[in-house]
């Protein structure tokens, strides 16, 4: 039931129908099918499934009940069961449809609330809260460990804000978010807004070489953007999370942040890895 919920509900419904059919035809053949009416009314209340699958299955049960009622009970009770079953099924469909619509709307509202809590409104990517939730799940072994971490920092963003205004700055971050979401669909990356003009990126199932190539792809894609007629660039710090003894991804984020700082200090619009930063210091 846990793995195949929908199949389990179908099996449970058919089992209930079979029991009701047995009671109607063999235990109480001289009475109208009261238990069957209850089953036909309740079944539509249980399902959120495609009509092309559910309706034929439900009609099949109804016609099966009608057929056996005529065969076993005779025409008099057969007609009674047919009419009562039709009324009960119709009532179940009306109430069931209304309940399903209410349940779906409830799911949508709940999903929207979750998204508002975990999604950055301006950029559309996951927010800092979602990032630390992911880190906690990684620590608990409930989520896959990323192979690499990036810190992406928009270059000269303060100057951009001061020159063109905060509305233009917001537009810049909004466009950057649209770019990141498109890249997220293409590569094995997840973007989080860390704060201000800084973004954290988790990269999965990759090698050290893949990290460099993906980071360069992000940098080049950002450099092709223009906001208010000005070209936007980013500096990226990367770190390859190959040391399994470091379980806390806040450590990796700190290292990626230091690598990004080295990139901004060096020339901006470049990718610097944690190891390259160490070499720069020497």
CA distance 115 to 102: 20
CA distance 117 to 104: 20
Is 274 among the domain residues? Answer: yes
Q: pTM for the whole thing?
A: 0.63
User: Are 272 and 137 in a shared domain?
Assistant: yes
User: Are 24 and 96 in a shared domain?
Assistant: yes
Give me the domain span that covers residue 68. Answer: 5-117
Helix (H) or strand (E) holding 103: helix 75-118
CA distance 264 to 191: 20
Q: What are 242-277's pLDDT values in tens digits? A: 877 777 888 999 999 999 999 998 889 999 998 765
CA distance 246 to 242: 9
Q: What is the pLDDT of residue 281?
A: 45
Which whole-number Å values give the CA distances from 120 to 115, 116, 173, in the listed order? 9, 8, 11
User: Are 138 and 270 in a shared domain?
Assistant: yes
Domains of the chain: total: 2
Q: What is the pLDDT of residue 115?
A: 72
Count of CB atoms within 10 A of residue 225's CB? 16
Q: What is the pLDDT of residue 111?
A: 75
Tell me the CA end-to-end span of the chain in Å, nearest whole number.
60
CA distance 146 to 246: 12
User: Are 162 and 211 in a shared domain?
Assistant: yes
Q: What are 180-227's pLDDT values in tens digits? A: 999 987 778 999 999 899 999 999 988 888 899 999 999 999 999 888
197 has catalytic annotation? yes
CATH code, 193: 3.30.70.270
User: Are 110 and 168 in a shared domain?
Assistant: no
CA distance 48 to 58: 13
Could you say which of 96, 117, 138 is where a domain stops? 117
Q: What is the pLDDT of residue 216?
A: 94
User: Are 139 and 256 in a shared domain?
Assistant: yes
| Residues in the chain where the model's pLDDT stays below 50 | 279-282
Q: Which of 197, 198, 216, 276 is catalytic?
A: 197
Count of CB atoms within 10 A of residue 195's CB? 10
Is 125 within 8 Å of 69 (Cβ atoms)? no
The candidate with the shortest Cα–Cα distance to 263, out of 188, 198, 208, is 198
Q: Which residue's structure tokens are 């495609």?
A: 50
Is 123 among the domain residues? Answer: no
Q: What is the pLDDT of residue 282?
A: 34
User: Are 41 and 16 in a shared domain?
Assistant: yes
Contacts of 45 (CB under 8 A, 6+ apart): 92, 95, 96, 99
User: Are 253 and 133 in a shared domain?
Assistant: yes
User: Are 140 and 95 in a shared domain?
Assistant: no
User: Are 141 and 110 in a shared domain?
Assistant: no
């Amino acid at each position: 039931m846990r793995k195949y919920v929908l199949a389990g509900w179908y099996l449970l419904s058919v089992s209930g129908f079979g029991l009701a059919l047995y009671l109607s035809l063999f235990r109480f053949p001289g009475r109208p099918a009261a238990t069957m009416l209850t089953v036909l009314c309740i079944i539509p209340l249980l399902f959120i499934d495609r009509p092309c699958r559910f309706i034929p299955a439900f009609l099949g049960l109804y016609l099966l009940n009608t057929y056996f009622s005529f065969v076993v009970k005779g025409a008099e009770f057969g007609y009674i069961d047919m009419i009562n079953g039709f009324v009960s099924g119709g009532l179940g469909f009306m109430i069931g449809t209304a309940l399903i619509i209410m349940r779906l709307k409830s799911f949508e509202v709940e999903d929207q609330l979750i998204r508002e809590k975990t999604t950055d409104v301006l950029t559309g990517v996951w927010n800092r809260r979602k990032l630390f939730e992911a880190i906690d799940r990684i620590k608990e072994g409930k989520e896959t460990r990323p192979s690499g971490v990036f810190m992406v920092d928009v270059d000269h963003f303060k100057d951009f804000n001061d020159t063109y205004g905060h509305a233009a700055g917001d537009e810049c971050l909004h466009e950057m978010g649209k770019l990141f979401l498109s890249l997220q669909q293409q590569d094995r990356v997840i973007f989080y807004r860390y704060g201000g003009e800084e973004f954290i990126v988790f990269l999965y199932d990759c090698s050290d070489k893949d990290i460099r190539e993906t980071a360069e792809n992000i940098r080049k894609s950002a450099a092709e953007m223009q906001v208010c007629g000005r070209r936007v660039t980013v500096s990226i710090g990367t770190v390859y999370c190959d040391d399994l003894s470091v379980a806390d991804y806040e450590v990796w984020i700190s290292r990626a942040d230091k690598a990004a700082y080295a990139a901004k200090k060096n020339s901006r619009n470049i990718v610097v890895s944690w190891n390259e930063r160490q070499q720069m210091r020497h």
